[in-house]
Structure 1
């Protein structure tokens, strides 16, 4: 029985993790670049977090503040479409590449987590934001505006999702090996 941790073949579990990490990191840089452009378009200073930006205006950040600002500038539908498109790209790649439903969800959660973590790394590199893990960020606009400290996704949510994704992919790979699958993407799902 071939080890699933082998780096010897381009389709091993380890190689698949590496290539999904590369995909997620490339997507993270794309997303960070877009956020840099949006922040510049809105006139936000590079290193400030969203609570600081609103405080400098004499206002407080709320669940509706960011949505209202984007809406007033005609950018709200564009940002909603961008966020939905991002999720669909991550989801679509996982659905196309996974061999079982477990593996598809594993790929999705793994790439989602690494995409978000690399997004923050690239933002720090590009514009010095966030300056700390306690900085306030707007996480998503869908289905409502979510915001909070950067430490929550970086230290809690994304590591858990990355581990969940690896676990789901790993158990799927083991099941496929036991079922006699060769492990190539697109191979038929085992009959249960």
Structure 2
């Protein structure tokens, strides 16, 4: 029961924090994209850009802090962080839909993150990653609740890191669109699909371990 209350608290925080995040974006878009958000991107003023970069860094710190507070072990902390991040990201788009009717489609392009360089891609991509993060976090918590000794083999880490690299590359590769403010090229779905496939294989290998 206590673990369920913790999980509920983490989820409620993530949903509420997603509303805060989406509210900031509503104001930014009203300021920089009064005609509606679209590519090519517009250059933020230096002061606004500095504040936005700091805000994004603070967002990650806050989500990580929730995991640290909620979890009792390192794996619990990691699991709660994954769940918080995934729920926050999905509800960020749901709140934007409620507030301004965007995205119209899951294939609408968005600027996803700014650190260390801007990330862009269709809304579908981060949402799918978030679903996997929630699933992985839930499985870790289930293993922990069932008192399994959860150990991740080196090959799983390698697969997960390779998957992360492929997905991040799909978001960051179009530097002409993000750094030179040009129209984006077609999204590299093959890189994203490869990353998701590597994640799925890593998860299967990690969670099929026998009880020890």
Q: CA deviation at 1:49?
A: 4.0
Which residue pairs with 2:121 in the alignment?
148
TM-score, length-scaled by structure 1: 0.72
Q: CA deviation at 1:50?
A: 2.9
Equivalent in 168, 180, 185 of residue 140 of structure 2: 168
Distance 1:150 1:141 in 2: 15
Q: CA deviation at 1:73?
A: 5.0
Q: CA deviation at 1:96?
A: 2.1
TM-score, length-scaled by structure 2: 0.65
Unaligned runs of 5+ in 2: 149-212
Q: Give the SS at the match of 1:130.
A: coil
RMSD: 1.7
* Bigger relative contact order, structure 1 or 2 (CA pairs below 8 A, ≥6 apart): 1
Contact 2:29 2:37 in 1 (8 A): no
The structure with the largest alpha-carbon Rg is 1
Is 1:138 aligned to residue 111 of structure 2? yes
Contact 2:22 2:95 in 1 (8 A): yes
Q: Where does structure 1 differ by over 3 angstroms across 4 or more consecutive aligned residues?
A: none
Q: Give the SS at the match of 1:148.
A: strand
Which residue pairs with 2:50 in the alignment?
77
Contact 2:109 2:123 in 1 (8 A): yes
Which residue pairs with 1:107 in the alignment?
80
Which residue pairs with 2:64 in the alignment?
91
Which residue pairs with 1:159 in the alignment?
131
Contact 2:82 2:136 in 1 (8 A): yes
Contact 1:49 1:136 in 2 (8 A): no
> How many residue pairs get matched?
148
- Name whichever structure is richer in helix by fraction: 2
